Structure 1
Amino acid sequence: MSGGSTPELLTLHAVRLKGVADDRRIAERFALDQAVTSELLLDYQAYGWVTWSEFAGSGGWSLTEAGRAENERQLATELDRAAGRGLIAETYQEFLPLNERLQRACTDWQLRPTEDDPLAFNDHRDRQWDRLVIDELKALAKALHAVSLRITVVLDRFDGYDVRFADALKKVREGDHAWVDKTGADSCHTVWFELHEDLIATLGVLRSTQLS
């Protein structure tokens, strides 16, 4: 994995994908050497690209505005060298309707509307309702595999999203329903959100513009 990207790029990019994360989680994202990753993070802090913050006894790195701009500059250069901008942009357009389906599935997992309350919390007692959501996630897993195959041809660092999503879905199907939208772990929602962030960062677009 990551054969087409440098540790320098992957370290900065992992900070963006994780949002807020410590050295270990950033290194683990792309299977980087943690000592090298920690040195790079300190360099990036000196450059003003990342900042360390702590809350309630835990801390992590996050991108500054300058770091976000640098990340997108590096990604654009990498993508142009790979001559794959057209394919990634085309695949992103195909990803967007899948993304809408994923959002609806997660909403349906969290909410179970009733006649009295259209925003009623899903207590998961309606097994048929949950089964339909899981079936949709299974269909999305298959679609994600096809997306992953296409974009990984361009850049190796896209590898693994489909596997991580499938692993989370397997846990859901085995009865651990938290893995649909669990935070702080590679749940279905977390993995999908990260891929979306990866695509828009790579193409240099905003979520709100949807590459219009």
Structure 2
Amino acid sequence: QLQLFEDEHPACTVLALHPPHDQTQLALYLHKKWWPLDDVLQTSSESRSGLQPVQSIMERLIVFLLSQVVERPHGEVSFSLHPPTETCKVLWKDGQAVGFYTIKHKRLCDSWSSRCYLLPVLDTVLVRRRYRRRGFGLQILHDFCSSFSSEEFLGVSFPLSSGMVAIRKFLQQHEEHRARLYEVEAPGGWSQRRNIWLN
């Protein structure tokens, strides 16, 4: 059984099939049948193209699979489980789920300290390995900045991973965002912000 959300949220699990001595997931039990992982990460809907908001439990499952199962980094810290209330967008390309990103909204309060975010924060970004170096990271950054065009400042969660070199390239191409984008620790007060372009 795979648990989709953090412990304090209602139980939401899915059955997974893996070899006896290997935890690599091969298939999931959904809608009364077993599905290969690659099939779960595909769509036949032509409307699913580009970055689309996550609205259903199946789309939440896709975010879970991308962050915890399919692209689990070897030797790196895995992503935390995403709460079911967190805003996410899945990136679709040619019928495949190729990545996603999550947002911590301004005034969102965490459950353990009750501190609230002081600015919108790009929290988690993932593009599947075989789809990297194709401009999808830049597309995600552009979508995030465009979604909050009225905000003076925007955050990217600390610490920036080595895979987030796209931010530097994005800022080289978009001078208008250089003073807006900050690397932030929650909840994003001025003492917890560092301008990305200047550092």
Shorter-chain-normalised TM-score: which range? under 0.3
Which of the pair is proportionally richer in helix? 1
Which of the pair is proportionally richer in strand? 2
TM-score by length of 2: 0.22
**Relative contact order, CA 8 A, sep 6+: which one is greater?**
1
TM-score by length of 1: 0.21
